[in-house]
Structure 1
């Protein structure tokens, strides 16, 4: 026993074998490794994959030591922590990279929501787009006051009448009962043109000779007057003609909407009508020549709009040619051809329809064809005007209504008695302005295409509004620069 003890005491103890660590397993249980374990699954997968030995079983040669380890062949977010990872996951930023080539549509709904929130925040800091100087937003949208106001006592109370017209030489004419007056907006001189019996319901200045004014009455009176010397130029009155309801000039030809449904074409050089168009069965309350004068649009009391070939004196609906009948849900009073896109025709209806429709007349139009766009306003549309300077459409309105017990019920909306401007081609509403306290009966566009005159039969007043601008703002424009906002005069 003693010998065994002595023998063991003489054995030299072996040194402990030093444990060697591969470079890829350095600091395996460090605090940074614990932080990385809470990172995203993709990044954690990359970390674990890099920690595995090589497929050949051969250990990688280490080029570092325990104090300065070798650089790893992959990048890890050293700033990652459980808190930052949680924040990134909540806000959908865990997968965001500087260069991301993945499909954002494949993200989860939560990520889409936060992506939408981020895009909305970006829009808040974006600079607003500059408004063109010709747009209504830069003119009527800024100065919402009328430029000029004129009294019009005795103006027809019928909203189907056209008692207002603006000439190319800057004269505004108005029918006040049996009397017709006009004012030179350059000199402010007011002139009494004539007196007739019965009362005048429709007037319009000629396009070729801006001093010639056409007058129409309900009992068939149809005259031409020269404003330079207040003389009667032509009398087309006919006892067989029951009434005159609408006018439209093209050069020296005047289209007249008559009752019971015919359209007469009159040349100022000829004492009789040169053509008669008989496609309507009810009175024609709207007429408008196309900008090139090749086609004539007509709308009647039943809501039917037709396109006519002026040269052939027949409707384009015959033989399924381009154009034709366009049906509406109510009487059509407003028509407007687009000056910069001649195939576009805008139509507006009264109660109970109250819609603006845009038609492409180049397409084949039959009974089943629909307009390319419809703007429902549930308000009477009394006139329409395309801007010649920008892609905008103006409409004037009367009463609004809603469905009630026993039929339609009148009530006030933002469109009631207003001037409304729509953009093209989106047809979004740019601005809306209440112009009168009651329904706007009619409006007319200035010769330079920047202003309109509106008339209200209940107020017996007419107002001028600056709606659009021009690219060449060198001159004072129509009406001159001396017209003050809120000026008021009386035509008698």
Structure 2
């Protein structure tokens, strides 16, 4: 018995040094098992051998389990697997946007459809497809996975250097035409004290000689835009009278002046001398327009007079088509039509019947009544003489386009503000409009889409008058805030300017060669 007791005690002692077969695994063993996934039989067998070697080495060494494990692996000629850091904090992706039901439906539906298509008739197949679309929607074309969070935006001012390489536009960035720069601030600001705040007057005009005529109360001042000199042309004798309209002749050497005393004057600017005074109106003359040697004047009485300035009997015709003041008057570029707008909300188109004293034939060719307010802003298109643009007052706020050949309305755009004046650009297919209540701004429009190109702000009161420089690049605006602002909004493209200079040089050189011969 003593022998058996000794053997039992010896077995119990040895059992204390043996590896623990029951109970939880050690922490390093758990990490190792997590890092090595059993994707194939080779990995599984490797994990088993690693676990066996590790359990054997734990009973024979006092060093760390990691080093004993490395020794056992090196003895077999295998590489030592390194345990990555942070395996215990394994990242689990967000699968809330993954539609497992939809993916299962796609797999099952594809198999069933393939099996049924072989035995099903075409009509029944279409019926089944329609029922599936009604019940499940477009499930077969839906995405199983989707991104719930969008990529963060790029920081402000960031520029991608590879933008040209990965451009999706049809034309590369190097060939894309640069957008025209329009200055948002005026090039120059001039004071205009005592300019009348009257919507129905026309107190601003720019000549081909680069002289700007400005009416300030009972005075007219001429500003030389080339030299910057200012001179006073006239001053009304009666303090109660004032200048109500001005208009330059095409050659720029004579200035027509309409007054509140129903008189039309003609001035020689170079000699600063009044050539003649033409009477006939019974109320103030608020609008003027030239057609060669014929001057047309619109009065507050609603009548329009034609004056032939070459002959002593200047009055040659009277047009009676308005019941209230004529505030807008403009001849077409080809001299065939006269457009007149009045405070009676009417727009009339008159044919060029001049030289006849018979007023019965002087009836409007067209009468348009679409405007709901006074029609002051009138402008003929320079590249299409039959196209007319007109603008209405506060109750209308529309810019309307008319085809005079057919007498039809082409388009109408609501500007949300009182339209006081319109000018067409000579360089671009654009027009600029001056507005009063309530925005007091200038708007540049692209024609014919009528998309707004730019807004020019700065005036603190309604912009009543506009005029364009002879080169067509600068627009001057006169407002009730007693300021004139010059905007260089139609600058010529530098490349086109070079081409024009080269063409003019070629013409001058050929003329010189002809003279030498």
TM-score range for the pair, normalised by the shorter chain length: 0.5 to 0.7
Residue in 1 that maps onto 2:200: 160
Aligned pair 1:462/2:462, yes or no? no
Residue in 1 that maps onto 2:290: 249
Residue in 1 that maps onto 2:423: 385
| Cα distance, 1:210–1:308 mapped onto 2, change above 3 Å | same
SS at match of 2:142: helix
Aligned pair 1:189/2:212, yes or no? no
SS at match of 1:473: helix
In 2, are the aligned partners of 1:246 and 1:258 still within 8 Å (CA)? yes
1:208-230 CA-to-partner distances (Å, cap 9, x unmatched) read: x2021111112212111111110
- Structure having the higher strand fraction is 1
In 1, are the aligned partners of 2:321 and 2:363 still within 8 Å (CA)? no
- Give the whole-Å Cα distance in 2 for the aligned partners of 1:230 and 1:475: 39
- Give the whole-Å Cα distance in 1 for the aligned partners of 2:389 and 2:186: 26
State the Cα distance separating 1:352 from its structure 2 match. 1.6
- Give the whole-Å Cα distance in 1 for the aligned partners of 2:254 and 2:282: 22
Residue in 2 that maps onto 1:452: 475
State the Cα distance separating 1:433 from its structure 2 match. 2.1
Alignment of 1:102-113 (within 5 A): none
In 2, are the aligned partners of 1:161 and 1:201 still within 8 Å (CA)? yes
State the Cα distance separating 1:49 from its structure 2 match. 7.1
Which structure 1 segments of 5+ residues have no match?
Answer: 1-34, 53-84, 94-122, 366-370, 401-415, 478-492
Aligned length: 351
1:429-485 CA-to-partner distances (Å, cap 9, x unmatched) read: 22222130111111111112221100112x2110110111335425999xxxxxxxx
In 1, are the aligned partners of 2:422 and 2:433 still within 8 Å (CA)? yes
- Give the whole-Å Cα distance in 2 for the aligned partners of 1:383 and 1:308: 20
Residue in 2 that maps onto 1:434: 457
Alignment of 1:365-376 (within 5 A): 371-376=409-414
1:393-438 CA-to-partner distances (Å, cap 9, x unmatched) read: 21110112xxxxxxxxxxxxxxx11001111221122222213011
In 1, are the aligned partners of 2:380 and 2:387 still within 8 Å (CA)? yes
Alignment of 1:192-211 (within 5 A): 192-197=232-237, 198-207=241-250, 209-211=251-253
Residue in 1 that maps onto 2:508: none
State the Cα distance separating 1:341 from its structure 2 match. 2.1
Residue in 2 that maps onto 1:412: none
State the Cα distance separating 1:243 from its structure 2 match. 1.4
- Structure having the higher helix fraction is 2
Residue in 2 that maps onto 1:82: none
State TM-score, norm by structure 2.
Answer: 0.61
Aligned with 1:346 (options 376, 379, 389): 389
| Cα distance, 1:91–1:439 mapped onto 2, change above 3 Å | farther
Residue in 2 that maps onto 1:65: none
In 1, are the aligned partners of 2:106 and 2:140 still within 8 Å (CA)? no
Residue in 2 that maps onto 1:20: none
Alignment of 1:476-487 (within 5 A): none
- Give the whole-Å Cα distance in 2 for the aligned partners of 1:315 and 1:392: 39
* Higher gyration radius (CA): 2
Runs of 4+ in 1 over 3 A off after TM superposition: 35-50, 85-88, 123-133, 312-319, 323-327, 474-477
Larger RCO, structure (CA 8 Å, separation 6 or more):
1
Aligned pair 1:473/2:515, yes or no? no
- Give the whole-Å Cα distance in 1 for the aligned partners of 2:277 and 2:259: 12
In 2, are the aligned partners of 1:317 and 1:324 still within 8 Å (CA)? no
| Cα distance, 1:261–1:44 mapped onto 2, change above 3 Å | same
Residue in 1 that maps onto 2:151: none
- Give the whole-Å Cα distance in 2 for the aligned partners of 1:145 and 1:476: 28
Which structure 2 segments of 5+ residues have no match?
Answer: 1-102, 120-137, 147-165, 502-517
Aligned with 2:274 (options 225, 229, 232): 232
Aligned with 2:260 (options 218, 238, 249): 218
In 2, are the aligned partners of 1:221 and 1:237 still within 8 Å (CA)? yes
Supply the RMSD in Å over aligned alpha carbons. Answer: 3.5
SS at match of 1:235: strand
1:162-207 CA-to-partner distances (Å, cap 9, x unmatched) read: 1111100111111111111111111112111111242112111111
1:52-105 CA-to-partner distances (Å, cap 9, x unmatched) read: 9xxxxxxxxxxxxxxxxxxxxxxxxxxxxxxxx989522899xxxxxxxxxxxx
State the Cα distance separating 1:373 from its structure 2 match. 1.6
State the Cα distance separating 1:153 from its structure 2 match. 1.5
- Give the whole-Å Cα distance in 1 for the aligned partners of 2:329 and 2:490: 25
- Give the whole-Å Cα distance in 2 for the aligned partners of 1:286 and 1:180: 20
Aligned pair 1:337/2:407, yes or no? no
| Cα distance, 1:354–1:195 mapped onto 2, change above 3 Å | same
